[in-house]
């Protein structure tokens, strides 16, 4: 039995793609089950409820050598902590290839598209496997979530085409309205502690090489209600500074992305991050906040700009 | 324009798959050309001549950031020396995932099958692209070469099915006879210097971790005429020892694989390698030669056994 899971701080793509890939593998002869390796954000429970299914369970402790399939990630730092002891036999991902290595030849499927859901739909088509309405709704949700309903610059023609097909199979006539409900659910943070808001879509990256290498933490909060998040700026900054100290990070930033206006207001933990933001983006930070405009994709815009900046410095 | 190439010391899979993948990419809208990054063995010119085409040219020096596609390898040590400065946008491979990283999300296609040719045929089918007779003959040759016409334990059902289909498209009625001609061409070493025989299908591997890590060089000579190669044992051992000194390797071995008898006679450079062979395979070395029986696949048998041995030692 193959254990399928997405990254830490799972988003809808990580959860939905684990469920769909497990279903695909099982239906094509490799029994598999979906798991998660962290708490879900507020969007994913809405998606699961709309689809009428339970959340995948937490991944149990796995014995050395257990066969696992990764979706939506491949950096070991974003995966389960004992990944090096496990046997990665399958990976479906749309991120750049990081530090993963496999013990034996594996089944890897990486494509530069907006969501793992889009790659999974290709797998169904290649296998001439019918897409069930539940599978379609999950893949659809994954793509809408990761591409912010095509607003993200990571969006490709394949994502648009997949959504059109999947919506018809899932019986969702008004895709825009469904996407808005997803984003509203994600934005309904209520009295969520600042630590949890920061952790919800948070990834660490190493910039620079060798002795100059620096570990940064980059959080993103995608919301239809940026005023609510930015209204809690002081709490969030305090949480960012605590995290930075605790983890010994060189920098911590939290980008508050207004999904509808496609605008990024980024909070920075200190003057150090402000200097990097000025160098990498040419933007002045005021009162711990920098307006990064349309730079709304961490993967395609923020991280490449930071990488280029640190490469120049190195 | 995308530059497509296989590994150093290219075998028929590395050359034929580069040619076919370049053709596939070009026909599906990404103009690409095939190259090679080393001298071919004696099998590949026979294959190219049978197909009526020229060998791909040597890869020129590529400027930083040039887009490249890798076939049949992914370890940076087996690729072009300045790979880290290039932009890897595509990889098709059937080896385990090694130390490759990409700068941006890329198109990666890895499957645990006997040859890259088998994966390429899948790509044609998925794209509903007709397979031209020339492309079929090249993919067929790649699979026959890498699987030793299904004798290698790396062979999968997908390889067998692909060969049956490709032979019919290529118009090759007697596959066994064609494969024998390939293997005979490969075995016709004439007065090839011992260094060149050793280099022809040679790969380096790192065993163990951290301070205990050791770099080994493992050559394979697949032949229908093992007596000829083993008859030059003294010359070959001298070449192995020179290579070991020059490259500062911890070990050098050359496996002479009798394709027809599926038998491996391995030459070892010194007592050090003999001790490892005893530990890893339980086989005593006599007069610098160890009979490793049916262990004829470096990828699936020799390297995993050596890895397991060094892991136990570590």
pLDDT at A211: 84
- Judge if A58 and A163 occupy the same domain: yes
Put simply, the answer to whether B109 touches A105 (Cβ < 8 Å) is: no
Question: In this structure, what DSSP letter does residue B298 have?
Answer: I
Q: pLDDT-based confidence at B310, cuts 50/70/90?
A: very high
Put simply, the answer to whether A106 touches B101 (Cβ < 8 Å) is: no
C-alpha A63, offset from chain centre: 27
Is the CB of residue B35 less than 8 Å from the CB of residue B161?
A: no
pLDDT at A184: 94
Put simply, the answer to whether B106 touches A112 (Cβ < 8 Å) is: yes
Is the CB of residue A106 less than 8 Å from the CB of residue B112?
A: yes
The region, left, alpha or beta by phi > 0 then psi within -120 to 50, assigned to residue A112 is beta
- Judge if A130 and A154 occupy the same domain: yes
List of residues 6+ apart from A170 with CB closer than 8 A: A133, A136, A137, A140
Kindly give the parts of chain A with pLDDT less than 50. none
- Judge if B145 and B8 occupy the same domain: yes
User: Rounded CA gap, A153 and B276, in Å?
Assistant: 53
Q: Which domain holds residue B165?
A: 2-186
Q: Chain A residues with CB inside 8 Å of B95's CB? A: 105
Is the CB of residue A114 less than 8 Å from the CB of residue A160?
A: no
Candidates A110, A159, A213, partner chain B, best to mutate (most B CBs within 10 A):
A110
* Domain end among A140, A164, A186: A186
Q: Chain A residues with CB inside 8 Å of B107's CB? A: 110-112
Q: How many CB pairs under 8 A join A and B?
A: 69
Q: Which CATH number goes with the domain that contains B280?
A: 3.10.310.20
Put simply, the answer to whether A98 touches B101 (Cβ < 8 Å) is: yes
Q: Which CATH number goes with the domain that contains B119?
A: 3.90.1640.10
Question: In this structure, what DSSP letter does residue A268 have?
Answer: E
- Judge if A124 and A156 occupy the same domain: yes
Put simply, the answer to whether A107 touches B112 (Cβ < 8 Å) is: yes
Q: pLDDT-based confidence at B314, cuts 50/70/90?
A: confident
The region, left, alpha or beta by phi > 0 then psi within -120 to 50, assigned to residue A269 is alpha
Q: How many CB atoms lie within 10 A of CB A30?
A: 17
- Judge if B203 and B158 occupy the same domain: no
Q: Could you tell me if A94 lies within 8 Å of chain B, comparing CB atoms?
A: yes
* Pair of tokens at residue B68: 């490249």
Q: pLDDT-based confidence at B65, cuts 50/70/90?
A: very high
- Judge if A152 and A227 occupy the same domain: no
ipTM reported for the complex, 2 dp:
0.85
CB nearest to A97's CB, from B94, B102, B125: B102
Which parts of chain A fold into alpha helices (H)?
A: 12-27, 43-51, 116-126, 133-146, 157-170, 175-187, 194-200, 226-230, 233-247, 271-281, 303-313
pLDDT at A178: 98
List of residues 6+ apart from A82 with CB closer than 8 A: A62, A64
User: Is the per-residue pLDDT at B210 higher than 90?
Assistant: no
Is the CB of residue A111 less than 8 Å from the CB of residue A156?
A: no
Q: Could you tell me if B151 lies within 8 Å of chain A, comparing CB atoms?
A: no
User: Rounded CA gap, A92 and A114, in Å?
Assistant: 13
* Pair of tokens at residue B221: 């000579």
For residue B203, the cross-strand partners are: B218
Question: Rounded to a whole number, what is the distance in Å from the CA of B17 to chain A's nearest CA?
Answer: 18
Question: Rounded to a whole number, what is the distance in Å from the CA of B304 to chain A's nearest CA?
Answer: 8
Question: Rounded to a whole number, what is the distance in Å from the CA of A115 to chain B's nearest CA?
Answer: 11
Is the CB of residue B178 less than 8 Å from the CB of residue B172?
A: yes
Candidates A28, A30, A89, A112, partner chain B, best to mutate (most B CBs within 10 A):
A112
Is the CB of residue B70 less than 8 Å from the CB of residue B37?
A: no
Is the CB of residue A265 less than 8 Å from the CB of residue A286?
A: no
Q: How many CB atoms lie within 10 A of CB B160?
A: 15
Q: Could you tell me if A27 lies within 8 Å of chain B, comparing CB atoms?
A: no
Closest residue on chain B to A111 (Cα) = B107
Measure Cα distances from A297 to A151, A220, A256, B203 in Å.
10, 9, 11, 40
Q: How do residues B241-280 score in pLDDT, each as one tens digit?
A: 999 999 999 999 999 999 999 999 999 999 999 999 999 9
**What are all long-range contacts of A296-299, with beta carbons under 8 Å and residues at least 24 apart?**
A296/A148, A296/A151, A296/A152, A296/A153, A296/A255, A296/A257, A296/A262, A296/A263, A296/A264, A297/A152, A297/A153, A297/A154, A298/A203, A298/A218, A298/A220, A298/A255, A299/A95, A299/A154, A299/B105
* Domain end among A157, A186, A215: A186
Helix B43-51 with B175-187: angle, nearest 10 deg: 130
pLDDT at B209: 83
User: Rounded CA gap, B94 and B91, in Å?
Assistant: 10
CA-closest candidate to residue A71, choices A135, A124, A118, A6? A6
User: Rounded CA gap, A69 and A107, in Å?
Assistant: 9
User: Rounded CA gap, B64 and B103, in Å?
Assistant: 12
Closest residue on chain A to B105 (Cα) = A96
Put simply, the answer to whether B98 touches A101 (Cβ < 8 Å) is: yes
For residue A132, the cross-strand partners are: none
Put simply, the answer to whether A106 touches B96 (Cβ < 8 Å) is: yes
- Judge if A34 and A124 occupy the same domain: yes
pLDDT at A209: 83
Question: In this structure, what DSSP letter does residue A301 have?
Answer: I
Pairing of strands A214-223, A251-258: parallel
- Judge if B95 and B76 occupy the same domain: yes
User: Rounded CA gap, A268 and A264, in Å?
Assistant: 13
φ, ψ for residue A289, nearest 5 deg: -130, 135
Q: Could you tell me if A153 lies within 8 Å of chain B, comparing CB atoms?
A: no
Candidates B110, B153, B158, partner chain A, best to mutate (most A CBs within 10 A):
B110
User: Rounded CA gap, B72 and B11, in Å?
Assistant: 9
Q: Could you tell me if B312 lies within 8 Å of chain A, comparing CB atoms?
A: no
Task: Give how many domains chain A has, as a whole number.
Answer: 2
Q: Chain B residues with CB inside 8 Å of A129's CB? A: none
* Domain end among A151, A186, A221: A186
Q: Chain B residues with CB inside 8 Å of A126's CB? A: 122, 125-126
Half-sphere exposure of A20 (CA within 13 A, CB side): 37
User: Rounded CA gap, B128 and A128, in Å?
Assistant: 13
- Judge if B89 and B28 occupy the same domain: yes
Candidates A76, A77, A97, partner chain B, best to mutate (most B CBs within 10 A):
A97
- Judge if B139 and B281 occupy the same domain: no
Q: Chain B residues with CB inside 8 Å of A99's CB? A: 101
Is the CB of residue B12 less than 8 Å from the CB of residue B117?
A: no
- Judge if B274 and B136 occupy the same domain: no
CB nearest to A109's CB, from B95, B101, B109: B109
Q: pLDDT-based confidence at B211, cuts 50/70/90?
A: confident
Question: Rounded to a whole number, what is the distance in Å from the CA of A49 to chain B's nearest CA?
Answer: 31
φ, ψ for residue B89, nearest 5 deg: -105, -20
Q: Could you tell me if A107 lies within 8 Å of chain B, comparing CB atoms?
A: yes
pLDDT at B188: 92
Q: pLDDT-based confidence at B284, cuts 50/70/90?
A: very high
**What sign does the dihedral B126-B127-B128-B130 (CA atoms) show?**
negative
Q: Could you tell me if A101 lies within 8 Å of chain B, comparing CB atoms?
A: yes
Q: Chain A residues with CB inside 8 Å of B111's CB? A: 105, 107-108
User: Rounded CA gap, A141 and A186, in Å?
Assistant: 13
Closest residue on chain B to A127 (Cα) = B126
Rounded average pLDDT over B147-158: 96
Tokens 């596609």 identify what position? B69
Give percent of chain B with pLDDT exceeding 70. 100
- Judge if B23 and B134 occupy the same domain: yes
Q: How do residues A239-282 score in pLDDT, each as one tens digit?
A: 999 999 999 999 999 999 999 999 999 999 999 999 999 999 99
Is the CB of residue B152 less than 8 Å from the CB of residue B296?
A: yes
Tokens 């990944």 identify what position? A83
Put simply, the answer to whether B110 touches A105 (Cβ < 8 Å) is: yes
């Amino acid at each position: 039995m193959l254990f399928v899971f997405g990254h830490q701080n799972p988003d809808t793509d990580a959860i939905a793609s684990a469920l769909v890939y497990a279903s695909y593998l099982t239906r094509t002869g490799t029994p598999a089950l979906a798991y998660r390796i962290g708490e879900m954000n507020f969007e994913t429970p809405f998606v699961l409820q709309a689809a009428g299914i339970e959340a995948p369970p937490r991944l149990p402790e796995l014995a050395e050598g257990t066969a696992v399939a990764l979706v939506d990630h491949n950096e070991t730092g974003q995966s389960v902590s004992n990944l090096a002891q496990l046997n990665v036999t399958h990976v479906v991902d749309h991120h750049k290839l990081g530090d993963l290595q496999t013990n034996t030849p594996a089944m890897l499927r990486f494509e530069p598209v907006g969501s793992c859901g889009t790659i999974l739909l290709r797998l169904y088509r290649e296998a001439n496997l019918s897409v069930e309405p539940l599978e379609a709704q999950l893949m659809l949700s994954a793509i809408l979530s990761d591409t912010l309903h095509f607003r993200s610059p990571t969006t490709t023609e394949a994502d648009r085409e997949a959504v059109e097909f999947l919506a018809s199979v899932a019986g969702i006539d008004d895709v825009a309205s469904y996407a808005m409900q997803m984003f509203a659910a994600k934005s309904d943070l209520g009295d969520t502690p600042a630590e949890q808001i920061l952790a919800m879509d948070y990834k660490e990256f190493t910039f620079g090489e060798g002795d100059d290498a620096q570990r940064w933490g980059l959080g993103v909060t995608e919301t239809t209600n940026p005023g609510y998040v930015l209204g809690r700026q002081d709490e969030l900054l305090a949480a960012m500074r605590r995290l930075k100290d605790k983890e010994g990070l060189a920098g911590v930033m939290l980008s508050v992305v207004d999904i509808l206006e496609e605008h990024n207001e980024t909070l920075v933990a200190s003057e150090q991050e402000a200097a990097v933001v000025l160098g990498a983006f040419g933007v002045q930070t005021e009162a711990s906040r920098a307006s990064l405009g349309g730079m709304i994709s961490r993967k395609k815009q923020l991280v490449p700009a930071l990488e280029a900046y640190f490469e120049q410095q190195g």
